[in-house]
């Protein structure tokens, strides 16, 4: 059901290639058009095998409106007046002002004291989907079967959640297969921004920010960047998403194992992407603003090529390379791979590249025992 909801949301957008979208979701065009036809004719209930189309009356009584408000609030206790008002409109109910919804919640003592100060934030977002994705782990919590580390991946423009997975580990071996699945379904972004540290790599650490995972992403043609240390707002949409995940899924709940957590994640991810009005989107839902990327995922990594004026060196087994009679430590993740030294307009200064990624600057006028400058 979750995949059906996500498919029809994306397939309903103007100009989308529906046959290509069917292939990404692993369904035949016949099945895809059947789902879309039912959705357009009957709404969400049309996607259920046993239709439970609700009875609607053009002249609903105040009691019916009040019951609808309470039902949505009961299903989503963290939603306030604005979200519930918009959700009622999306469901085809009579328009109800957010202030009316808030008053109904107050009468039924369903408003909790959040105790949060009001802030006015200046929001920044990229102009199109897939220009920037933000990725991070949302801490961890314990289950009787072991620790759970929720991995989340968000599109900057649409706030569409591309991945929400209950991971047992946080290393590259756990992350890479999940990212491969995402790339096959949605295509690849222009850039991914991650936190500092494993498995993403940190520009301030020895190795110049290149981990094995980031090397793989760079070879795919994806630009990588890292949040400024001590400035979580650099990945602010991810941080906000984690707060919402905690409020609407994790608070007050426990899970017996990773499978149970994943089941809850899958159900809520559909709600978040397709149902939940988003304040930063003018109360639209993320799925209405997201489109899959035109950059397809290659099953084989492309060859590494450099310019004719670059001086190319192979990185040795211990992450070292020899250049201009110097032995330099670059990164163990680059072992066996070629890097390029590219001269700058300043005499004796070289920028060091791996594929398109500039990760180091070397000044030959400096003593050999000094570490090269990280980028």
The predicted model gives 212-234 an average pLDDT of 83
pLDDT of residue 13: 87
Of the ranges 70-79, 111-120, 247-256, the best mean pLDDT one = 247-256
Between CA 1 and CA 95 the distance in angstroms is 28
pLDDT of residue 85: 82
- C-beta of residue 336 within 8 angstroms of C-beta of residue 315: yes
pLDDT, mean over the chain: 85
Between CA 339 and CA 369 the distance in angstroms is 21
Between CA 312 and CA 61 the distance in angstroms is 75
Which of 48-52, 74-78, 273-277 shows the lowest mean pLDDT across its residues? 48-52
- C-beta of residue 10 within 8 angstroms of C-beta of residue 291: yes
pLDDT of residue 157: 94
pLDDT of residue 232: 53
Which of 34-43, 103-112, 289-298 shows the lowest mean pLDDT across its residues? 103-112
Helix segments in the chain, DSSP class H: 2-11, 18-25, 29-42, 62-75, 81-90, 98-107, 172-186, 212-219, 236-245, 258-270
pLDDT band, very low/low/confident/very high, at 261 (cuts 50, 70, 90): very high
pTM of structure = 0.75
Q: Is the pLDDT of residue 321 over 60?
A: yes
Cis ω for the linkage preceding 94 (within 30 of 0): no
Alpha carbons within 13 A on the beta-carbon side of 9: 25
Between CA 180 and CA 195 the distance in angstroms is 20
For tokens 């009005």, what's the residue? 277
Q: What is the tens place of the pLDDT at every residue in 112-164?
A: 654 333 444 445 678 899 999 999 999 899 999 999 999 999 999 999 999 99
**Domain 133-288 carries which CATH code?**
3.30.420.10
The predicted model gives 298-309 an average pLDDT of 94
Return all residues near 88 (Cβ < 8 A) that are at least 6 apart. 65, 68, 69, 72, 94, 95, 96, 101
Please state, for a pLDDT cut of 90, what percent of the chain lies above it.
50
Between CA 189 and CA 155 the distance in angstroms is 9
Q: Which residue has the higher pLDDT, 116 or 107?
A: 107
Between CA 285 and CA 280 the distance in angstroms is 10
Q: Is the pLDDT of residue 58 over 70?
A: no
Which of 2-11, 129-138, 157-166, 255-264 shows the lowest mean pLDDT across its residues? 2-11
Between CA 334 and CA 272 the distance in angstroms is 39
The predicted model gives 316-329 an average pLDDT of 91
pLDDT of residue 60: 44
pLDDT of residue 368: 59
**Taking every pair of C-alpha atoms in the chain, what is the biggest distance, in angstroms?**
85
Between CA 292 and CA 157 the distance in angstroms is 12
- C-beta of residue 209 within 8 angstroms of C-beta of residue 226: yes
Other residues' Cβ atoms within 10 Å of the Cβ of residue 243:
11
- C-beta of residue 141 within 8 angstroms of C-beta of residue 258: no
Work out the angle between the directed axes of helices 81-90 and 62-75 (0-180°, nearest 10). 110
Between CA 270 and CA 220 the distance in angstroms is 28
Please state, for a pLDDT cut of 70, what percent of the chain lies above it.
87
- C-beta of residue 167 within 8 angstroms of C-beta of residue 138: no
Q: Is the pLDDT of residue 295 over 80?
A: yes
Q: Is the pLDDT of residue 46 over 70?
A: yes
pLDDT of residue 102: 82
**Which of 199, 155, 191, 195 minimizes the C-alpha distance to 175?**
199
What residue segments make up the domains of the chain, in order of their start?
Answer: 2-47, 62-107, 133-288, 311-374
Residue 88, helix vs strand vs coil: helix
pLDDT of residue 296: 96
- The number of angstroms, rounded, from the C-alpha of 332 to the middle of its chain's C-alpha atoms is 28
Alpha carbons within 13 A on the beta-carbon side of 229: 8
pLDDT of residue 152: 97
């Amino acid at each position: 059901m979750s995949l059906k909801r996500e498919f029809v949301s994306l397939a309903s957008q103007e100009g989308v290639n529906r046959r290509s979208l069917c292939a990404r979701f692993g369904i035949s065009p016949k099945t895809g058009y059947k789902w879309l036809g039912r959705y357009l004719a009957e709404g969400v209930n049309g996607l259920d095998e046993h239709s439970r189309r609700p009875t609607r009356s053009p002249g609903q009584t105040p009691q019916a409106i009040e019951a609808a408000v309470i039902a949505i609030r009961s299903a989503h206790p963290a939603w306030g007046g604005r979200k519930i008002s918009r959700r009622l409109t999306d469901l085809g109910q009579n328009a109800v002002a957010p202030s009316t919804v808030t008053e109904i919640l107050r009468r039924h003592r369903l408003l909790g004291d959040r105790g949060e100060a009001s802030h006015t934030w200046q929001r920044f977002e990229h102009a199109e989907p897939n220009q920037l994705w933000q990725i991070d782990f949302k801490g961890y919590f314990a289950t009787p079967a072991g620790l759970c580390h929720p991995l989340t991946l968000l599109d900057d423009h649409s706030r569409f959640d591309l991945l929400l997975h209950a991971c047992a580990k946080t290393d590259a071996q756990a992350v890479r297969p999940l990212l491969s699945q995402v790339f096959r379904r949605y295509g690849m972004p222009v850039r991914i921004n991650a936190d500092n540290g494993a498995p993403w790599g940190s520009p301030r650490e020895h190795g110049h920010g290149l981990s094995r995972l980031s090397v793989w992403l760079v070879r795919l043609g994806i630009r990588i960047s890292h949040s400024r240390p001590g400035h979580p707002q650099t990945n602010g949409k991810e941080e906000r998403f984690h707060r919402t995940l905690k409020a609407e899924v994790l608070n007050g709940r426990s899970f017996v194992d990773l499978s149970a957590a994943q089941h809850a994640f899958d159900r809520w991810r559909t709600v978040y992407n397709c149902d939940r009005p988003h304040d930063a989107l003018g109360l639209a839902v993320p799925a209405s603003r997201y489109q899959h990327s035109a950059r397809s995922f290659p099953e084989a990594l492309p060859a590494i090529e450099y310019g004719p004026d670059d001086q190319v060196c192979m990185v040795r087994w211990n992450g070292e390379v020899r250049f201009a009679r110097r032995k330099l430590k670059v990164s163990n993740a680059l072992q066996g791979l070629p890097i390029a030294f590219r001269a700058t307009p300043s005499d004796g200064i070289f920028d060091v590249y791996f594929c398109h990624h500039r990760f180091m600057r070397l000044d030959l006028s400096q003593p050999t025992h000094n570490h090269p400058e990280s980028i």
